[in-house]
Amino acid sequence: MPRYPTEKTFSRRRLGQLATLQFTAGLAAMAGGSLAFPLLSRAYQDRLMKRPPILGTTFSQLQCYYMQLDWQATFKAVVTLGLDRIRLCAYWHEIEATENDFNFSQIDWLLEECDRRGIQVALAVGMKVPRWPEFHFPDWLRDRYDTQGNHLPLDANPAIAAHGLNFLQRVVEHVRPAPAITHWQIENEPFTHLAIAGGRFLSYQFVRREVELVRSWARPEQKMLLTGSITLPAAQDQADQTALKLSMPLVDAFGLNVYTKVPLANTFFYLEPLPPFWRTLRQWQTNLVTHGKEAWVAEAQAEPWEPNQLVAMGKPDYPSANPRRTAELVTTLAEAGYSTILLWGCEYWYWHHQHGRHQWWRAIQQLTQAPLADTTQASALARKPS
- Per-residue confidence (pLDDT) for residue 18, from 0 to 100: 39
- Per-residue confidence (pLDDT) for residue 264, from 0 to 100: 92
Among candidates 273, 333, 242, 383, which has minimal Cα distance to 49? 333
Q: How confident is the model at residue 127 (pLDDT cuts 50, 70, 90)?
A: very high
Q: How confident is the model at residue 247 (pLDDT cuts 50, 70, 90)?
A: very high
How far apart are alpha carbons 198 and 133 in whole angstroms?
8
- Amino acid occupying residue 380: A
280-to-52, 70, 235 alpha-carbon distances in Å: 19, 39, 7
Q: What are the pLDDT digits (tens) for 166-191?
A: 999 999 999 999 999 999 999 999 99
Ranges 110-114, 190-194, 223-227: which has the least confidence = 190-194
56 within 8 A of 121, measured Cβ to Cβ: no
How far apart are alpha carbons 151 and 334 in whole angstroms?
37
Give yes or no for residue 260 having a pLDDT over 60.
yes
Give yes or no for residue 9 having a pLDDT over 80.
no
Q: What are the pLDDT digits (tens) for 205-219?
A: 999 999 999 999 999
Length of the chain: 386
- Per-residue confidence (pLDDT) for residue 198, from 0 to 100: 84
How far apart are alpha carbons 108 and 176 in whole angstroms?
11
For 25, half-sphere exposure in the C-beta direction (CA atoms, 13 angstrom radius) is: 22
Which residues does 91 contact at the CB level (< 8 Å), separation at least 6?
61, 62, 129, 136
Give yes or no for residue 11 having a pLDDT over 70.
no
72 within 8 A of 362, measured Cβ to Cβ: no
Give yes or no for residue 46 having a pLDDT over 70.
no
- Amino acid occupying residue 181: I
362-to-258, 353, 356 alpha-carbon distances in Å: 22, 9, 12
- Amino acid occupying residue 36: A
Burial classification of residue 28, based on how many CB atoms lie within 10 Å of its CB (0-12 exposed, 13-18 middle, 19 or more buried): middle
- Per-residue confidence (pLDDT) for residue 26, from 0 to 100: 42
The residue-averaged pLDDT of 285-298 equals 98
Peptide bond into 316 cis (omega under 30): no
- Amino acid occupying residue 281: L
Q: What are the pLDDT digits (tens) for 219-242?
A: 999 999 999 999 999 999 999 999
- Per-residue confidence (pLDDT) for residue 17, from 0 to 100: 38
Give yes or no for residue 371 having a pLDDT over 70.
yes
- Domains of the chain in start order, with CATH, are 18-23+39-383 (3.20.20.80)
Strand, coil or helix: 298: strand
- Per-residue confidence (pLDDT) for residue 23, from 0 to 100: 39
- Per-residue confidence (pLDDT) for residue 197, from 0 to 100: 83
How far apart are alpha carbons 165 and 211 in whole angstroms?
11
Strand, coil or helix: 70: coil
pLDDT above 90 as % of the chain:
80
Which residues does 316 contact at the CB level (< 8 Å), separation at least 6?
322, 323, 352, 357, 359, 360
- Per-residue confidence (pLDDT) for residue 40, from 0 to 100: 43
- Per-residue confidence (pLDDT) for residue 349, from 0 to 100: 98
How far apart are alpha carbons 180 and 165 in whole angstroms?
23
- Per-residue confidence (pLDDT) for residue 29, from 0 to 100: 37
Q: How confident is the model at residue 194 (pLDDT cuts 50, 70, 90)?
A: confident
How far apart are alpha carbons 207 and 196 in whole angstroms?
20
Among candidates 385, 211, 177, 195, which has minimal Cα distance to 203? 211
Ranges 7-16, 166-175, 304-313, 363-372: which has the least confidence = 7-16
- Per-residue confidence (pLDDT) for residue 45, from 0 to 100: 56
The residue-averaged pLDDT of 310-332 equals 94
Phi and psi, residue 300, nearest 5°: -110, 125
How far apart are alpha carbons 264 and 16 in whole angstroms?
10
Predicted TM-score (pTM) of the model is: 0.88
CB environment 39-58: b (16+ within 10 A), e (fewer): ebeeeebeeebbbbebbbbb
Average pLDDT over the chain, rounded to an integer: 88
pLDDT above 70 as % of the chain:
85
Which residues does 237 contact at the CB level (< 8 Å), separation at least 6?
8, 11, 14, 231
DSSP annotation string for 4-30: PPPP-S-STT--TTHHHHHHHHHHHHH
- Per-residue confidence (pLDDT) for residue 16, from 0 to 100: 36
91 within 8 A of 62, measured Cβ to Cβ: yes
